[in-house]
Chains A and B, each alone.
Chain A
Amino acid sequence: MIDTVERARDTPDHPQPYSELGLKSEEYHRIRDILGRRPTSSELAMYSVMWSEHCSYKSSKVHLRQFGDLPRSEVLLVGIGENAGVVDIGDGYAVTFKIESHNHPSYVEPYQGAATGVGGIVRDILTMGARPIAVMDPLRFGPADAPDTQRVLPGVVAGIGGYGNCLGLPNIGGEVVFDDSYLGNPLVNALCVGVMRHEDIRLAKASGPGNQVILFGARTGGDGIGGVSVLASETFAADGPAKRPSVQVGDPFTEKVLIECCLEIFAADLVVGIQDLGGAGLSCATTELSSAGSGGMHVVLDRVPLRDETLAPEEILMSESQERMCAVVTPSDVDRFMQICARWEVTATVIGEVNESGRLTIDWHGERIVDVPPRTVAHGGPVYERPLARPLDLDDLTAGDPGRLPRPSTSEDLQVLLLRMAASPNLCDKTWVTEQYDRYVQGNTVLAQPEDAGVLRIDEQTGLGVAVATDGNGRFTRLEPYAGAQLALAEAYRNVATTGARPLAVTNCLNFGSPEDPAVMWQFAEAVRGLADGCRVLGLPVTGGNVSFYNQTGDTAINPTPIIGVLGVMTDVARRTPMAFGTAPDEVLLVLGETRDEFGGSEWAWSEHHHLGGRPPAVDLGRERALAEILVTAAEQGLLSAAHDLSDGGLAQALVECCLRGDVGAEVRLTGDPFVNLFSESAGRVLVALPAQRRARFTELCEAHAVPVAELGTVRPEHATLTVAGQFGVPLGELRAAFTGTLPALFGSPGR
């Protein structure tokens, strides 16, 4: 029996399963107050999914407001609140980028979970009117040798590669990090970048009474029903995924056709507003579109093309079937819209009409099953000021200073340590992962992993391009969330500048445990405050982002992991700075910034001693700004032949990577404690290589910006050895064997 609005009025005491749908009793009563009656089952489905943590940001909203309060940026064309922020990069071009999480689905079904994560973020970017041009994937897994990592990692990597490669999108970067805290809750974040002309920006709104609402793309099936509320807002029980929810299977070829179809529709200027169907499916699209536009919409749900004719209306409203879009089109353009869809063999159906009633009404078999004010569903959800409490174990953690850990005392020890660190899962070569991704398809990839940032050419004539980097350090954030978020921001910012691009804008994906745990909520509040303050100092807008809560197994939350993405612009990609040594004659090596004895949360403390304690490295964002200014100017003036940021694993790791990348040796001379020099993770440092004749000009530039610069050594193309004078020399062959052997030994040959 269909639960109609009329029936809901007549049966006010009919019991409803609101708590099974994830709604609290006070939330359910709020819905009753809004409607002045009990909701129908379809309305209850819509409210429950839209008021879930994932869709409503009910716990994070009060904190995220700080991003909106940042000073207005001239480059920001579209800000927070739309599907993705849009940034002006000059010459009439606009770029949009965003990261989202697909953590829980990827744990349940690694291949499809990761694949549909890529599909979802690509549609978000497409919705803005942009052509998607690249993806990146920051990933976190449990220990590399854990059995569950052996199950999850290969599936996730194959899923990302499978979907992204089929779309013809280069995967230009990201991270792969292993840590015990992600065992049982891996993080699979997906970033997409898109480009458009300024005039092509599209927004998600349904305005103009009489305009038609068109659902197009794949048919609606029973997949991922309630996925948003069940998958994203409930924690896995400690005994694993016993009740496995229905996950979605994506079809990248359908998505590719949908992309091209949408771009042709945009070019013909046939849409008033557009929205993709992601989490919460039609519930989300219809309520968000109508509350952003004229305020009302009427939908005939029977018209939705179905893959499974037995679906109930509640299920159709909640289905998360992939590869679907919803557009608002003026009546006179509907025919041309339909013709384009037909040409691409994309199913398109008029399912409703915009009006000024202020209500979203939905009919099913001629009966009214939904009659709600759409704003109350899309934006009127509860907002919580959750209690915050500094984690009880934090004092003990910060007191556990890594200064007490045994350090290598002889040069032999140092050499062995360098090799062991280079081979450790977090520092080793990630080719096993990235070679499964197409990094150069479409021919505009200028730099990709393992470079500091992914760099893409936007305009073939002028060489205008963008650089994107993501970073996040869960250990630093665990020790000090405020500083941890700023360190992630600083590193992504530095990575972008290291390639020679000027940082322009920030996006983020905030991965945390349960917001109902005051300790987690405190970490979240501190991280957001740190990020907002950091963006203020760096003069960067936050263009949008995503919050992923409930990342925990039982009561144990993951290390708080804010992933920060920074986008920069490069006036001519021919002027980029790569990381490989040996591309210019007579190269000298310099280190910019200061190296201190900072090992709190370091890779050394973790991989050598399984120790997490002390304080993370000090952050100096003013210094980061000066450093970026130097790197961008030096790139524009063609002063540098190579640059690489110093972060995880410190100087030792940067030297290993730059030598191996260029397949040349180097000789360095250290002043002071060689261990601290090689392995400290002090922030605000960059290793650069440049021809000796340009040294004077470059050091002058550093002095002008008050950034200390130290002589380190020289590149030695004729010696295939990394030599630390007075300490040791390691043949490159030995280094390469250590660096590249780890992942193949753990995961075998790539493939599903």
Chain B
Amino acid sequence: MPRVVVDVMLKPEILDPQGSAILGALPRLGFDGVNSVRQGKHFELEVSEPVDEARLRVLADTLLANSVIEEFTLRVLP
């Protein structure tokens, strides 16, 4: 069964409070040298054949990502 991977990230111009919190925590834990952290969401969907990628994009845009503040990438794995 094909697997579809959707990665959702906040748009680059949007503030990422969670990413900032992680960045702030790293030096406190002794991890130096990290200059920026952006975090996001990773989805794995198992779908039936045939794979309709256009339809899946609509799905991701409708439910998985909030297109006002987020963007996503979609990959179909065999």
Q: B-contacting residues of A (Cβ < 8 Å)?
A: 108-109, 112, 218, 221-223, 225, 244, 246-251, 253-254, 307-308, 321-322, 345
Contact = CB atoms under 8 A, between A and B. Distances in A.
A223 B14 CA distance: 6
B8 interface: no
Given A108-B68, A109-B69, A112-B69, A251 B13 contact: no
Contacts of A246: 11, 13-14
A249 B15 contact: yes
Chain A at the B interface: SS class: loop
B73 interface: no
A223 B17 contact: no
Contacts of B60: none
B69 A247 contact: yes
Contacts of B68: 108-109, 244, 247
Contact of A254 (B11, B13, B17): B17
Interface of B: 10-17, 20-21, 24, 66-69
Contacts of A218: 15
Nearest 3 CB-CB pairs, A to B?
A: A222-B13, A251-B17, A109-B68
10 contacts: A112-B69, A221-B13, A221-B15, A222-B13, A246-B11, A248-B14, A251-B15, A251-B17, A251-B20, A345-B24
B30 to A, nearest CB: 18
A248 B12 CA distance: 12
Chain B at the A interface: SS class: loop
Contact of A308 (B10, B12, B17, B21): B12
Contact of B15 (A108, A109, A248): A248
Contacts of B66: 109
B15 to A, nearest CB: 5
A223 B20 contact: no
A106 to B, nearest CB: 12
A223 B17 CA distance: 13
A254 B67 CA distance: 25
A249 B20 contact: no
A267 to B, nearest CB: 26
A109 to B, nearest CB: 4
A90 to B, nearest CB: 40
Contact of A249 (B12, B21, B67, B69): B69
Nearest to B68: A109
A199 B76 CA distance: 65
Nearest to A244: B68
A120 B17 CA distance: 17
Given A246-B13, A246-B14, A321-B15, 5 more contacts: A109-B66, A246-B11, A248-B14, A248-B15, A253-B17
Contacts of A307: 15
Contacts of B67: 244
A321 B17 CA distance: 12
A244 to B, nearest CB: 6
B15 A322 contact: yes
